Chain A
Amino acid sequence: MPKFNLPDLGEGLQDAEIIEWVIEEGQNVEVDQAVVVVETAKAIVELPSPEKARITKFCVNVGDTVDVGQPLFEYQGIDVTCESESSTQNEVLSTKVQPVFDESNVTDSVSVVGVLPSASDEHAINMHENFSFESHDEPAENELPKKRRTNDKLVAPPSVVAMAKKLGLESLLYDHTYGDIGQKDLLDIYKQRQNGSHTSGPEVHNDKVIKLSGARKVMAQTMTKSHQHIPSVTLFDDANIHHWEKGTDITLKLIRAIVAATKHVPLLNAWFDEENLSVQLFDDVNLGVAVNASDGLFVPVIRKVQTLTDFKTRAVLDKMIEGVNHRTIKAQRLLGATISLSNFGTLSGRYATPIIVPPQVAIVGIGTIREQPVVRDGQLVVGKIMPISLSFDHRAASGADAAAFMESLIQSLEQ
């Protein structure tokens, strides 16, 4: 019976999470009728039936994460009839016949060629007649380790991988802070964790465990990777925007300032390739704008923002925010940023240490704008202060680069 495998959904995405089965098991569907809804790196995609068929079996459950190429469901084309073929071959074992044998004397004649060791010799050997067809005891594991993203380097021997999988410690193999890990290390860590979880800490209620899924899961994975791989430094400063008119579109102003600063310091509008230790610079500014939604953090991307008018930029931004809120935004719109902006100040907080989304090199965080006394021309006056936090990947850029970027940013904002 043909299987429908998770297709390559583009952009190098390796897996997807099953959100919902649109139909029932055993139901008939038309060509292109939606069968299952999956979520990839934050976007929702409906997968249609490849032909008019009966969907005979679901291979995965809602909530499962499925690798590209793994079967999702089995189906049977409706026009095809299946004839069962009766096996005609090999009556090898089935033939049962009444035994017949005359007690004939089979002599132990000596061969004409060579000398056969004989049962009557003192060196007669055991013929090992007892056998079974089944190997006892459960084998360690039946499945092969799950496919991994290519940039996650796995350098453990096969048996260690097998054991890690069995103990649920697979993630340690990708965590190079542990160095070379062996089976004994795994056992130790496993025991440590077992003991730890039973003897100390607060009382645990299983119904209070929040299993991360969808966007929150992706966020957790991306942030972990970023934190483990990127030596980031955060620079703080303020821009005084007392001269801004009331009702100024702050986000738009920030976008313009970032574009100007990237012109000045192109190194921060870039991707860092940690394999080859190289920095890819870009002419275009693809700005990722962090948008908070109930399902988690989304960072839609405004492409070539340097070419857009203010009006157009605002229009694109509004459309993206709406897309995030209604979860209709396409996966492609969430990928390919060259620098990011997080305007968390609309909620609360002054300064932060925003985490860079690899392979980007920088992210700008903006805190809550406040009024405070400042000294201008020797006079104490009321200023309007916009707190700026700039995190950058210190492998790709130096402190001086970041300072120049910050200076340019403030200059643009204070103009």
Chain B
Amino acid sequence: MRLVKNEQKKDIHNITMIEAVNLALDFAMTESEDVVVLGEDVAVNGGVFRATDNLRDKFGVKRVMDTPLAETMIAGVSIGMAAQGLRPVAEIQFMGFIYAALEQLIGHAARMRNRTRGRLTCPLVVRAPFGGGIHAPEHHSESTEAIFAHVPGLRVVIPSSPRRAYGLLLSAIRSNDPIIFLEPKRIYRASKSEVINDGVGLPLDKCFILRQGADMTLVSWGAMISETMQAAEELTQKGIQCEVIDVASVSPIDMDTILKSVKKTGRCCIVHEAARSCGVGAEIAAGLSEFAFPFLKAPISRVTGYDTVMPYFKNENNYLPKIEKIVSIVEESVGACTRNEGETRHAKI
């Protein structure tokens, strides 16, 4: 990687997640001339969500490129660039449009390292906004991270806050693996937090423990972190302390952290927006029953979207998992075991 030397004092920004994405891209493009950005409307328009705002003006048309409406081509060109030494960051405008690029991503990007016996890597980041909650038309709201999580050779990373978006995107760009970077658009501008623009990346293979608790482990990622944290907050009032884990990298999953937590709490609920069947939650549940079975005090539970096509915006709110649902599932899990737990439990409630 060629590095461009720069000198600037520590600067702190109070920004939203979408601005954090922009900040990380800016830093990475300044850090290395190999980083290029391409996608539909990313240059002149600065992206439909403004993730790439100002980048064309700052880094020029050779490094920030508008492409035709052809996702297969975006992925294919990016793979070619990556294999030959660049670090492309491609944007798929909405995750619902990414399927045209699957042949390139699954058939080529994911296996480049293996195919060439390590001679070539594919340091490619494909960014795509995903998830519901913004009342968008069809194809704009689904959460199909499990498709990519199932493919060996791809990393799937999902930030859930401005700081994590900044740190994870930087690490993703610096990583030599092809990475599907899914941005939960519902929380793109939901809130601001302070992000230090120091170029420090966050690990791609670790879960983030957002909250400590001894009674039950709540595992989630993406926009659902918000509901999960609020549920945990509500449960505190009922005397139930939940540990909340942001998986962040749904592939590969840091099962060690999740296992350690569940061995402590004995109970686990997985919350995700994606449809239930064959979701990433099922994989986590399977891992828990394999390696934490003797520690479980209640069955592993899931709060998820439904096994239907993501509904249009009128019914969107009925589809998305609710705080009340998480709270009631937790209460059920914890209550289910009151008889066995002895005095400690009784004393707490």
Contact = CB atoms under 8 A, between A and B. Distances in A.
B208 A116 contact: no
A107 interface: yes
B5 interface: yes
Contacts of A377: none
A187 B27 CA distance: 57
A135 B257 contact: yes
Interface residues of A, number: 59
Given A98-B5, A140-B263, A158 B295 contact: yes
Given A133-B209, A134-B209, A145-B294, A119 B8 contact: no
A116 B134 contact: yes
A125 B189 CA distance: 10
A113 B225 contact: no
A380 interface: no
B214 interface: yes
B332 interface: no
Interface in A150-198: 157-162, 182-184, 187
Interface stretch (A89-97, A260-268, A295-303, A342-350): A89-97
Contact of B294 (A104, A130, A162, A184): A162
Contact of B7 (A98, A103, A162): A98
B189 A97 contact: no
A230 to B, nearest CB: 31
A118 B189 contact: yes
Contacts, number: 218
Interface in B251-307: 257, 260-261, 263-264, 266, 293-297
A-B interface, 8 closest residue pairs, ranked by CB to CB distance from nearest: A100-B6, A114-B136, A114-B134, A131-B208, A139-B263, A159-B297, A127-B161, A184-B342
Interface of B: 1, 3, 5-11, 15-17, 19, 22-23, 26-27, 30-31, 46, 48-50, 53-54, 58, 94, 133-137, 140, 160-164, 171, 174-176, 185-194, 197-199, 201, 203-204, 206-212, 214, 225-226, 229-230, 243-244, 246, 257, 260-261, 263-264, 266, 293-297, 337, 339-343
Interface of A: 89-93, 95-104, 106-109, 111-119, 124-142, 144-145, 157-162, 182-184, 187
Given A91-B174, A98-B6, A101-B11, 11 more contacts: A93-B201, A93-B203, A99-B11, A100-B8, A106-B23, A114-B135, A127-B190, A131-B164, A133-B203, A133-B208, A139-B264
29 contacts: A93-B201, A95-B174, A95-B201, A97-B3, A100-B8, A102-B58, A104-B58, A108-B16, A108-B189, A113-B94, A113-B136, A114-B140, A116-B189, A117-B190, A118-B190, A119-B16, A125-B230, A127-B161, A128-B244, A128-B246, A129-B162, A131-B164, A131-B208, A132-B208, A135-B257, A141-B263, A159-B337, A159-B340, A184-B341
